[in-house]
Amino acid sequence: MLPFLRSNKMLAVSRELDMDYFKYIPYEDMLFLEVFELFQKGKKQKIRNVLSGYVGHLDVDIDIFDYGFSLHDEYKWQSVAMVRGPKLDIPQFIMRPTHLGDKVKELFSGGDINFDLYPRFSRNYFVNGPHETNIRYLMNEPFLEYFNARPHWSLEGLRDMFVLYRRRKRFKPADIPGFYDMALDVCTRILEGGKAGGYL
């Protein structure tokens, strides 16, 4: 899709969702995102087509945007949802689809947090962070069951915010409302927290 057509369609989606729209935001204004692994790759990062809003019943701000970076002289784009709020208290973690290399590394050094009662989740997702107990507390049974049925997603969290995305996947404008709803579903599960299934 041509850039100006995507911008026009994203503007229309922002009105549908009652969100503000910004055609671009200087990446320098978003350097705080570099605490997340997603934003540590490539160079010449750009943020475009930003939809920004506030969700009162959850007391969170949500931004959905196109994130791009240069890799081997080619731009890679994907959609990202970022959620921030004062009620979020998130241990540092990354959850992403499992790679073959993760299984090899686990044999020698560990690092992947597994949930014995959710083997499909543990097969599909690599989970890591410095505070395993807190991560297990966050990833309660509703959280694990939710992502059991939704492979291929990546989720990173720290303190009062998280980012949700599909690696190298930029959603069509028509799919953004569903992405918005999913980000709020995930937010609800994070806010609820609880003792994780399989953690004794």
Split at pLDDT 50, 70, 90, the class of 196 is very low
Domain positions in the chain? 3-192
Give tens-digit pLDDT for 140-170: 999 999 999 999 999 999 999 999 999 999 9
d(CA 95, CA 33): 16
Task: Identify the pLDDT of residue 105.
Answer: 52
Split at pLDDT 50, 70, 90, the class of 99 is confident
d(CA 175, CA 167): 16
Answer yes or no: pTM beyond 0.95.
no
Residue 173 scores a pLDDT above 70: yes
Task: Identify the pLDDT of residue 151.
Answer: 93
